[in-house]
Amino acid sequence: MQTEAIADAIKLTAQLLEVHGENPFKIKSLSNAAYRLDKTDIDLAGKSLAELEAIDGIGKSIAAKIFELQQTGTTKELRALLEKTPAGVIQMLGIKGVGPKKVAQLWRELGVESPGELHYACCENRLVELKGFGAKTQESVKKAIEFTMANAGKFHYASVEKTALQLVDYLKKTMQTELVSLTGPMRRKCEIIETIHVLVAADESPDMAGFEQESAVPVEIELCKPEEFYRALFLASADVSHLKQLETLNIAFPTEAASEEAIYSHYGLQYIAPELREGRGEILLAQRNEIPTLIEFSDLRGTLHNHTKWSDGMHSIQDMAEKCIAMGLEYFGLCDHSQSAFYAGGLKPEKLIEQWKEIDTLNEKFAPFKIFKGIESDILHDGSLDYPEEILKQFDFIVASVHSGLKMDREKATTRLLRAIENPYTTMLGHPTGRLLLSREGYPIDHEKIIDACAANGVAIELNAHPYRLDLDWRWIPYALEKGVLISINPDAHEKEGLLDMYFGVCVARKGMLTADKCLNAQNREAITNWFSRKKQ
């Protein structure tokens, strides 16, 4: 073992002991030793225990550790520590500005177990009120995590879209052509992006010196002749399985094409939007001319599931409502956290009564714009909702979500959700799996059972539009639609700007072939008011 690796192992031991709140003197002596070893040029290889003990500044116990590391590559103590610490918690130790003590606090007090969960906790302002943290620390922690995530080579769509669009503009300008387009997963609006692919009709590579790229995502530029642009665009945009299924039609690829529409009509198919070119049954539908008109952002009439200062949001109800009005929306569904979510300022019944008064006043002020009295009710461990019936019945609508006890097996998780769906006060199921893209898988659920139950109970399903969630996964939308379940594209906004996240929900909803008439919050104010009251009866 190299001296450097030995120093690292001792440092990690010290950090983990601190995470687990062990003896501070022992921790201090280990981290001092690690520091010294890191700086030393003494070669520790092949030294006997006695020789190690003789080295200046290395005591008996450290020498024993070094010897054990030399012999076995690890120590018993380190192995035991690693065993009782989740891998994600260990990863959190690598985040700049978060020492072992803070990691321990985040883990114990917020239940955060990975850098991704920590990032999301920052997005939800969980660190602002946490002792020893605050808004500034929260911001720097968030930045530090974003940096590591970017280095892992995978990016949330939302974090690279701006770069991609700027790149297209830049290429159009520098290459003096309109024949520039995103291709690949970026054009298909996939939720995770590894590379931005761009196609340019040009003879030689563009000069990229003038392009200041904001994000670390790799960029690949493909060149083609102008007359080949649409054929190349088509080939570079679709997923391989889409192209393979086209091949089975036994029609040769057109030798020229003036547009992608022309290519599809060459195959005798209805036009297929880029988002759909995944090889998931879209070609069959196009053959029968059955691809519906996909939902667009402008179809949305309101927004449900949003947080304010009353729980863990940044802005007041009035601020949020005014932003909605500025966006041209007709209603705003308020869904602060319920009482069990104490870490997120969940509302006790007496607080709710105060909040409803404020809503009544604002509703008079902003009419006909409407603020609906909703709640994001925690689904408790046994599947029940978080208030007694006399409170539940006073809400206009209820989003039921799981926030605690995320480590369940499929059967337990499904049963828990089913109970919540069967509760007559549940209007919709919030973020069905609790996943965080690129950082947390979410609990396993039997999607078919859950969707069937929503259909049977007239419960809508949320497509949480936060770009880190996008949960319900769009791949399940067709099944939900087939069963007649409405989908609600919810931003889960914790601040005004968060309302715009509905756009990312629309991007993936299109991939799932959602249409405006099957989207709950594409209904106008009157229709949704009726829908809520029908559901309550």
Site residues for Zn ion per CB under 5 A: 376, 401, 492
**In terms of CB distance, is 164 or 334 closer to Zn ion?**
334
Residue 494 vs 535, nearer CB to Zn ion: 494
- In the sheet that holds 219-224, the strands lie side by side as 180-183, 196-201, 219-224
Give the bridge partners for 224, in sequence order.
201
Kindly list the distances between the CA atom of residue 20 and the CA atoms of 17, 23, 105, 258, 535, in Å, as whole numbers in the listed order.
5, 9, 10, 65, 49
Considering the complex, what minimum distance in angstroms separates the CB of residue 457 from Zn ion?
20
- Closest approach of Cβ 335 to Zn ion, in Å? 6
Q: Which is nearer to Zn ion, 191 or 501 (CB)?
A: 501
Nearer to Zn ion, 188 or 435 (CB): 435
CB 322 within 8 A of CB 532: no
Closer residue to Zn ion, CB minimum distance, 376 or 501: 376
Least distance between Zn ion and beta carbon 475 (Å): 21
Nearest-10 crossing angle of helices 447-457, 410-422: 10
Q: How far is the CB of 314 from Zn ion (least distance, A)?
A: 13
Residue 11 structure tokens:
């440092």
Q: Please, what is the end-to-end C-alpha distance for the chain in angstroms?
A: 71
Q: Is 433 helix (H, G, I), strand (E, B) or coil?
A: coil
Closer to Zn ion by Cβ: residue 330 or 376: 376
Reduced 3-state DSSP string for 233-248: HHHHHCCHHHHHHHHC
State the Cα–Cα distance between residues 251 and 518, nearest whole angstrom: 35
Query: Rounded to the nearest whole angstrom, what is the least distance from the CB of residue 349 to Zn ion in the complex?
Result: 19
Query: Shortest distance, CB of residue 152 to Zn ion, whole angstroms?
Result: 25
Question: What minimum distance in Å lies between the beta carbon of 353 and Zn ion?
Answer: 21
CB-nearer residue toward Zn ion: 275 or 376: 376
CB of 431 to Zn ion, least distance (A): 6
Q: Find all residues with CB under 8 Å of 1, minimum gap 6, and list them.
A: 9, 44, 45, 69, 70, 73
402 vs 326: CA distance, rounded Å? 32
Q: 61 or 404, CB closer to Zn ion? A: 404
Instruction: Say how far residue 519 (Cα) sits from the centre of its chain.
Output: 21
